[in-house]
Structure 1
Amino acid sequence: METFLLQATIYLGAAVIAVPLAARLGLGSVLGYLAAGIVIGPLTGLVGSEAQDIQHFAEFGVVMMLFLIGLELEPRTLWGMRDRLIGLGGLQVLLTTAVIAGVCTWLGYAPQTGLAIGLILALSSTAIVLQTLTEKNLMRTQGGRSTFSVLLTQDIAVIPMLALLPLLAIADGTPVADAEAHAALSLVDGLPGWGVTLVTVAAVAAVVLTGIYLTRPVFRYIHHAHLREMYTALALLIVVGIAVLMGTVGLSPALGAFLAGVVLANSEFRHELESDLQPFKGLLLGLFFITVGAGIDFALLAAQPLAIAAAVAGLIAIKGGILYALSRLFRMGGKDRWLFTLGLAQAGEFGFVLVSFATQRAVLDPGMGQMLLLVIALSMLATPLLFLGYGWLSARMDDDDPKPDADEIAEHGTVIIAGTGRFGQMANRLIRSAGFTTVVIDNDPATIETLRTFGIHGYFGDPTRPDLLAAAGIGTARVMMVAVDDKDAATRLVAYVRRIRPDIRIIARARDRVHVYELYAAGADDIVREMFDSSLRAGRYALETLGLSAFEAAEVQAIFYQSDRAMVRELATLWKPGVPVAQNAAYVARARQLNADLETALAARAQSGEDGGTVIPGDGTAADQNRRAD
């Protein structure tokens, strides 16, 4: 017990020290975990041979990660990825295997050995790449989606690889005994080919049918216990059970978990599963990365530094070249192309499994197996550096897809709406439904195309451009609505329109209270905080739940609404541009006083029970009626 606690202390302590430091240096958490493993393993010897056993346990982090990714993908979305899965991913695996096998044969290895090495090194690191893409918010880019498609294809390809490798055994080689493999439960040992296929299909069908029909009643059964930990236990049971089932039929546990996640993507329990498994996934993935770093054989590296360095560099160059060619073939943009190329240029954690499997079955000799394990580990260690290289390149590149020229605006509107996201679309529908004409300008061509699909006319272009505003009729329009996403652009637009049209009514959307002050100073007449009304409505529902009647809750909401508007108008006169509000003594003092006045007014109203008797500070003046900040 003491030994286990000591090892846990070493692993957790190394992670707590190294990962925040790496994050602060901008290197990412993965490189921090790998560095921690190197320090406690090869450099200091604090951990030893048990790291390999821990790695097998930590691989459940990869399984959980794919399960959680599956929860984010509806079956319809997965079906939409079929071209990238089969075309892009399939070509990557086949081309990489062929080229690496050819190079190995050219270097003098037996053809079957070269093919085995090609299969093993064709895979990339699902754990490191997906973790890094998520940290850097790159999963939703074209390059991120293409990278994920290839990783998923590689995970699927592990299955035929495991079937093919034993056929490549060296003629005079002696298989290495694998007691664990013989002891493991298997549902397909000794079955004919058709029997293996039947059992495998049945296992996959069991996962799908369980996700569709049994998840809901099981969750309801667990709910009656009213124990939070039971939800966590059920989430772990789902993932571990799927992993065990897939293992018994010779399939990848990660693939099975991903499939189950896709099945449950439309389930009402999806968010519950995500919240329960997220902490385990993060810790297990971190532990896995630490064991990769701890498992690097520096003695072998010191004995053959040039050969191993050449092998790692050659692997990255070969895979990078193939990936770059595929990115051009599939017409990826500049930034996406380099993300795809550099993100997948390493070997992967499933390579450890395949190397062990190939060595046990005499496909590879033990010396070659150790060499491959070191090459795989070092290439994975280089992955965060490749992502840093991508960041350096992308910062010096223009946008991948240059936007088309602005549309020619051939109409004038009573109301001009700049920006038509969720906020602008709703306002536009309301105004047009009342019979007034609008001209909508937005700088996102996809948004304009979506509007046109639903029969709503809009124009693509930068709404801050004076020529587009003139073409839209800014000289005669009665209302200018500013709803662009960029805060600075919105403020500049308000100031410009106020300068050329002192008489026009300007309605502007504000992101937050400071933005309200900026728009107020720029000359906006009506300023609407985008979340203000919805937040008040949510608060009113909470008050009703807590015992207030619908009338009382609505009255409190109205009092707060009027008071906060008056407060914002008064504080706008005390706000100083460029000075943080927390450092503005007059602003802070007045804000605290106004908040206290509001609490006193609400308390007095609650005690008096009188209707409409509350006086709202600062409300009703001529200035208040002319300039509104909701």
Structure 2
Amino acid sequence: MSSGYLEDLIILLVAAVAVVPICQTLKLGAVPGFLIAGLAVGPSGLGLIHNLSEIRHFAEIGIAFLLFVIGIELKPSRLWQMKRMVFGLGTLQVLITGLVLVAVSYYVFEVPLQAAAIIGPALALSSTAFVLQLLSEQRLLKSTYGRTSFSILLLQDLAVVPLLALVSLLGASEISMGDDIGLALAESVFTLVMVILFGRYFLHPVLHRIALTKIPEVFTASAILVVLGVSLIAEKVGLSMAMGAFIVGMLMSDSSYKHQVISEIKPFRGLLLGLFFMTMGMSLNLGLLIDQPLLSMGLVALLIGIKILILFPLTYMFGLSKGKSLAVSLVLAQSGEFALVLFSLSLDSGILAPALHQQLLLVILISLLVTPILAECARKVVTKKKLIGINPSEVPKSSPIILAGFGRVGHRIGDILKLAGKPFVAIDIDPNIVRKSQANNLPVYYGDVCNKGLLDSVGVGDSRIVIVTVNDMETSKLIVGSLRQTYPDLAIYVRGGNSLECTQLLEVGASAAVSDTIEASIELAGMGLTSLKVAEKEKKSILTNYAKHYYEQIKLAKKN
């Protein structure tokens, strides 16, 4: 790496570390922090970084990782269940909003028709990365309001493909529309089929073979390779990188390796998404804002107003309450990163004039800076409605018990929970155990139980109980300590080898620890007493009192 790139990287990291925590403290959220940090070090701020285009191309990988994680959490069956919202509400939103913005651009601001034809639908798109990040921070992504917002965003991402083709057609000197669109569609369909076949017949066996090596670094590299490889192929045939990543994510949604892959991708996703938002902040032209503040702010207000006025009645028509319809309209009122891409390509193709491009860029970025305020208003609307009255059908089912380890002990606990009708999710590092369990329709996933990101992915934050059955003391202590620090109210039951290990596990945060040796001793002693004709009542009293005294000694040792 050259010293120039290293200096830019250090500057970006310093800006993020300095600004983002302040924005979090002020309850603005992480995304505005990244935008402000980028503005501070960019050409309109201190002017410390100028390589915007190269950094932006690298940062777009973060969007691909984000869409991959979304795809892996969205099974195809669930997408089919959402078809009414995705293809109905989403299509209407893009079409109606796009047409209205085309008309406003052409008739009110006298923008050339070719440029208006791009500006309208591009501004109709919202920011997938921004909105999903905000919904995730608010923990509302799985709510009705969050799912509806995601459905619209998903259709908007699909709409990017024809919009990219439209830019190429409008920018071409000789338009052969039928041939160009036909070839693009054929390439896209062929790519989708090949990706689906790859995921169905090759991806899972390959990951299984890699998991057998039990080398974490190789598994991490393979996870990144899958996402970036398919994303690159998708981009080469005219689809977006984000769409390719989303598709391969959906193909892995039923895989037993999905949670481990998510945990491996998560750190890269967070860093690169932050970098992407910083590049957007660096693109902001403060000079234009200072010269024409009323025009810039007026255009932003007009854009947000039009999108809210169109989205609110549409979402209400599709069965949402007025409060949730308003919330969806508020959180999707901005324009997004795909508009930046479309406008950049339009500028290169001669469709947009440089001055118009700068003004549109300013409008988009200001709308993004306003979004956290709108999202907070939307959250208050939704949470207020929840306080007024809860629909019984919306009350979540009981959260699953998490089993850390699914060997002999974990498997037996799973059998008992299944007989009791209690849901559970298990994690194990042995791919053979995972494969056998999945073949028996058991919810067991591959992964390292020491990985906190993996535990978060399987829902440990929503669970009330974690049972650690790992037969390794240091691993158990690491799991218990990490969980207790992050989730102070979580019930953590753990298996220990002897009284000393049980004491140590209680010291690092276990709610209760069970000794393998004492339980085996009690069972064997009970068999011996039975053979000696000791009365059942007397035998039970002796064993119960002994076990009680044993565990009291462990608790006493912990206090001392």
Same fold (TM over 0.5): yes
Confirm or deny that 1:306 pairs with 2:308.
Answer: no
Alignment partner, residue 219 of structure 2: 231
Q: Displacement, 1:403?
A: 4.7
Cα distance 1:170–1:268, how it changes in 2: closer, same or farther (>3 A)? Answer: closer
Cα distance 1:430–1:37, how it changes in 2: closer, same or farther (>3 A)? Answer: closer
Partner of residue 548 from structure 2, selected from 541, 562, 567: 562
SS at match of 1:250: coil
**Structure 2 counterpart of 1:596, which letter?**
L
Alignment partner, residue 267 of structure 2: 279
Partner of residue 375 from structure 1, selected from 363, 366, 386: 363
**Could you tell me whether the CA contact under 8 Å between 2:496 and 2:514 is conserved in 1?**
no
**Structure 1 counterpart of 2:58, which letter?**
F
**Could you tell me whether the CA contact under 8 Å between 2:311 and 2:329 is conserved in 1?**
yes
Query: How far apart in 2 are the matches of 1:213 and 1:559?
Result: 57
**Structure 2 counterpart of 1:294, which letter?**
M
Q: Deviations over 1:117-169 (max 9, x none)?
A: 10110110011100010011010111100000111100000001111234445
Query: How far apart in 2 are the matches of 1:191 and 1:167?
Result: 11
Between stretches 389-398 and 52-61, larger displacement belongs to 389-398
**Could you tell me whether the CA contact under 8 Å between 1:343 and 1:383 is conserved in 2?**
yes
Unaligned segments of structure 1, at least 5 residues: 176-188, 405-418, 432-484, 488-528, 568-592, 601-630
**Could you tell me whether the CA contact under 8 Å between 2:327 and 2:381 is conserved in 1?**
no
**Could you tell me whether the CA contact under 8 Å between 1:52 and 1:295 is conserved in 2?**
no
Cα distance 1:64–1:547, how it changes in 2: closer, same or farther (>3 A)? Answer: same
Query: How far apart in 2 are the matches of 1:169 and 1:141?
Result: 42
Cα distance 1:539–1:331, how it changes in 2: closer, same or farther (>3 A)? Answer: farther
Alignment partner, residue 132 of structure 2: 130
Alignment partner, residue 35 of structure 1: 36
Q: Displacement, 1:599?
A: 9.7
Partner of residue 166 from structure 2, selected from 164, 179, 190: 164
**Could you tell me whether the CA contact under 8 Å between 1:74 and 1:266 is conserved in 2?**
yes
Partner of residue 199 from structure 1, selected from 169, 187, 199: 187
**Structure 1 counterpart of 2:32, which letter?**
L
**Could you tell me whether the CA contact under 8 Å between 1:144 and 1:336 is conserved in 2?**
no
Q: Displacement, 1:326?
A: 1.3
Cα distance 1:210–1:421, how it changes in 2: closer, same or farther (>3 A)? Answer: closer
Partner of residue 331 from structure 1, selected from 295, 319, 326: 319
**Could you tell me whether the CA contact under 8 Å between 2:62 and 2:270 is conserved in 1?**
yes
Alignment partner, residue 555 of structure 2: 595
**Structure 2 counterpart of 1:75, which letter?**
P
Q: Deviations over 1:446-467 (max 9, x none)?
A: xxxxxxxxxxxxxxxxxxxxxx
Alignment partner, residue 64 of structure 1: 65
**Could you tell me whether the CA contact under 8 Å between 1:316 and 1:379 is conserved in 2?**
yes
Query: How far apart in 2 are the matches of 1:366 and 1:115?
Result: 17
Alignment partner, residue 586 of structure 1: none
Alignment partner, residue 551 of structure 1: 520
**Structure 2 counterpart of 1:123, which letter?**
L
Query: How far apart in 2 are the matches of 1:157 and 1:78?
Result: 17
Alignment partner, residue 151 of structure 1: 153
Between stretches 544-553 and 258-267, larger displacement belongs to 544-553
Alignment partner, residue 84 of structure 2: 83
**Could you tell me whether the CA contact under 8 Å between 1:10 and 1:46 is conserved in 2?**
no
**Could you tell me whether the CA contact under 8 Å between 1:58 and 1:284 is conserved in 2?**
yes
Q: Displacement, 1:369?
A: 1.4
**Structure 2 counterpart of 1:318, which letter?**
I
Q: Deviations over 1:324-348 (max 9, x none)?
A: 1112112212442232011100001
Q: Deviations over 1:419-474 (max 9, x none)?
A: 99579xx99x989xxxxxxxxxxxxxxxxxxxxxxxxxxxxxxxxxxxxxxxxxxx
Confirm or deny that 1:388 pairs with 2:357.
Answer: no
Alignment partner, residue 26 of structure 2: 25
Alignment partner, residue 14 of structure 2: 13
Q: Displacement, 1:558?
A: 7.0
Cα distance 1:326–1:551, how it changes in 2: closer, same or farther (>3 A)? Answer: same
Query: How far apart in 2 are the matches of 1:300 and 1:8?
Result: 27
Alignment partner, residue 110 of structure 1: 112
Cα distance 1:12–1:190, how it changes in 2: closer, same or farther (>3 A)? Answer: farther
Query: How far apart in 1 are the matches of 2:233 and 2:179?
Result: 17
Q: Deviations over 1:272-299 (max 9, x none)?
A: 2101100000000011111111110111
Q: Displacement, 1:71?
A: 0.9
Alignment partner, residue 617 of structure 1: none
**Could you tell me whether the CA contact under 8 Å between 2:316 and 2:322 is conserved in 1?**
no
**Structure 1 counterpart of 2:122, which letter?**
I
**Could you tell me whether the CA contact under 8 Å between 2:99 and 2:120 is conserved in 1?**
yes
**Structure 1 counterpart of 2:81, which letter?**
G
Query: How far apart in 2 are the matches of 1:251 and 1:156?
Result: 9
SS at match of 1:59: helix
**Could you tell me whether the CA contact under 8 Å between 1:324 and 1:338 is conserved in 2?**
yes
Query: How far apart in 1 are the matches of 2:81 and 2:279?
Result: 36
Query: How far apart in 2 are the matches of 1:546 and 1:530?
Result: 21
- 1:523-542 counterparts in 2 under 5 A? 535=493
Cα distance 1:316–1:193, how it changes in 2: closer, same or farther (>3 A)? Answer: closer
**Could you tell me whether the CA contact under 8 Å between 1:144 and 1:339 is conserved in 2?**
no
Higher helix share: 2
Q: Displacement, 1:224?
A: 4.8
**Could you tell me whether the CA contact under 8 Å between 1:335 and 1:400 is conserved in 2?**
no
The percent identity for this pair of structures is 36
Alignment partner, residue 270 of structure 1: 258
Query: How far apart in 1 are the matches of 2:179 and 2:261?
Result: 36
**Could you tell me whether the CA contact under 8 Å between 1:170 and 1:363 is conserved in 2?**
no
**Could you tell me whether the CA contact under 8 Å between 2:102 and 2:119 is conserved in 1?**
yes
Alignment partner, residue 440 of structure 2: none
Query: How far apart in 2 are the matches of 1:32 and 1:530?
Result: 31
**Structure 2 counterpart of 1:223, which letter?**
A
**Could you tell me whether the CA contact under 8 Å between 1:64 and 1:281 is conserved in 2?**
yes
Query: How far apart in 1 are the matches of 2:313 and 2:61?
Result: 33
Query: How far apart in 2 are the matches of 1:555 and 1:531?
Result: 30
Calculate the aligned-residue CA RMSD, in Å: 3.9
**Could you tell me whether the CA contact under 8 Å between 1:30 and 1:286 is conserved in 2?**
yes
Q: Deviations over 1:536-587 (max 9, x none)?
A: 6x5589999998597248689978973599x6xxxxxxxxxxxxxxxxxxxx
Alignment partner, residue 48 of structure 2: 47
Q: Rg bigger for which structure?
A: 1
Q: With a CA cutoff of 8 Å and minimum separation of 6, indicate the structure with the bigger relative contact order.
A: 2
**Could you tell me whether the CA contact under 8 Å between 2:44 and 2:287 is conserved in 1?**
no
**Could you tell me whether the CA contact under 8 Å between 1:170 and 1:362 is conserved in 2?**
no
Query: How far apart in 2 are the matches of 1:598 and 1:11?
Result: 46
Q: Displacement, 1:259?
A: 1.1
Cα distance 1:58–1:599, how it changes in 2: closer, same or farther (>3 A)? Answer: same
SS at match of 1:47: coil
Q: Deviations over 1:601-624 (max 9, x none)?
A: xxxxxxxxxxxxxxxxxxxxxxxx
- 1:355-374 counterparts in 2 under 5 A? 355-374=343-362
Query: How far apart in 2 are the matches of 1:72 and 1:118?
Result: 31
Query: How far apart in 2 are the matches of 1:58 and 1:420?
Result: 38
SS at match of 1:293: helix
Between stretches 354-363 and 549-558, larger displacement belongs to 549-558
Q: Displacement, 1:393?
A: 4.1
SS at match of 2:42: helix
Query: How far apart in 2 are the matches of 1:114 and 1:192?
Result: 22
Q: Displacement, 1:227?
A: 2.5
**Structure 2 counterpart of 1:104, which letter?**
S
**Structure 2 counterpart of 1:35, which letter?**
I
Cα distance 1:559–1:41, how it changes in 2: closer, same or farther (>3 A)? Answer: farther
Alignment partner, residue 305 of structure 2: 317
Between stretches 338-347 and 383-392, larger displacement belongs to 383-392
**Structure 2 counterpart of 1:93, which letter?**
V
**Could you tell me whether the CA contact under 8 Å between 1:297 and 1:374 is conserved in 2?**
yes
**Could you tell me whether the CA contact under 8 Å between 1:22 and 1:31 is conserved in 2?**
yes
Alignment partner, residue 514 of structure 1: none
Query: How far apart in 2 are the matches of 1:383 and 1:72?
Result: 25
**Structure 2 counterpart of 1:229, which letter?**
E
